[in-house]
Chain A
Amino acid sequence: DTEVTQTPKHLVMGMTNKKSLKCEQHMGHRAMYWYKQKAKKPPELMFVYSYEKLSINESVPSRFSPECPNSSLLNLHLHALQPEDSALYLCASSLPSQGAWEKLFFGSGTQLSVL
């Protein structure tokens, strides 16, 4: 199984809603990532978890709250988002960063629209 599964595939939410994005992998990877991608732009790194601990937060606003409850699961909790947060949210996983040769496996993303 070399898949990273993201749910839901599409999400529409209002600015006062609370929602969560889910990411799951069963490859034994211990590094997991959240990226944000606006239309026609490259993915931008948001968070990195290594061994279920947050290791990188790229100065992301607190309305985005990541969680890694176990080695297979990564969540992104959303609250009080703005319309400009509408984007494709990508999850990725890799073996722990033993070196810069490790490759990332990406999910297909959640397309988020904030109204």
Chain B
Amino acid sequence: DAKTTQPNSMESNEEEPVHLPCNHSTISGTDYIHWYRQLPSQGPEYVIHGLTSNVNNRMASLAIAEDRKSSTLILHRATLRDAAVYYCILRSNFGNEKLTFGTGTRLTIIP
């Protein structure tokens, strides 16, 4: 699977937008970009995914670079409940039963 690179940790103030970056320079044309998050003492939780176009849902927005070599997860207004480890994952359309987690970004929200 192609690899992703994320900052180990980030901090953000409560009620402000958060931009979580992810680099995936070896992405292939059929790789989907997935984001999951893991709150303390819980299993991972799906956030959003995309292929080429930007995506929005009730939890977040996903901005994908035109060359697809990077993407950004946007939390529009962070709350304390958004404190979690955020994982950016590439999932191939071949052998797609695998979902392989990278090291993720630990997001701390400052009240």
Contact = CB atoms under 8 A, between A and B. Distances in A.
Do A and B assemble together?
yes
Q: Which of B34, B85, B99 has the most CB atoms of chain A within a 10 A radius of its CB? A: B99
A101 B32 contact: yes
Contact of B49 (A45, A48, A101, A106): A101
Contact of A104 (B31, B46, B103): B46
A31 B91 CA distance: 15
A14 interface: no
A100 interface: yes
Nearest to A43: B101
A97 B43 contact: no
Contacts, number: 60
B93 to A, nearest CB: 4
A92 B97 CA distance: 12
A58 to B, nearest CB: 9
Contacts of B46: 103-105
Contacts of B43: 4, 90, 92, 106-109
Interface of B: 30-32, 34, 36, 41-46, 49, 51, 85, 87, 91-93, 96-104
17 contacts: A31-B97, A42-B85, A43-B44, A45-B99, A45-B100, A48-B98, A92-B43, A92-B44, A97-B96, A100-B31, A100-B92, A100-B93, A104-B46, A105-B46, A106-B45, A108-B42, A109-B43
The 8 A-B residue pairs with the shortest CB-CB distance, nearest first, are A106-B43, A42-B101, A100-B91, A103-B46, A100-B96, A100-B32, A100-B93, A97-B97
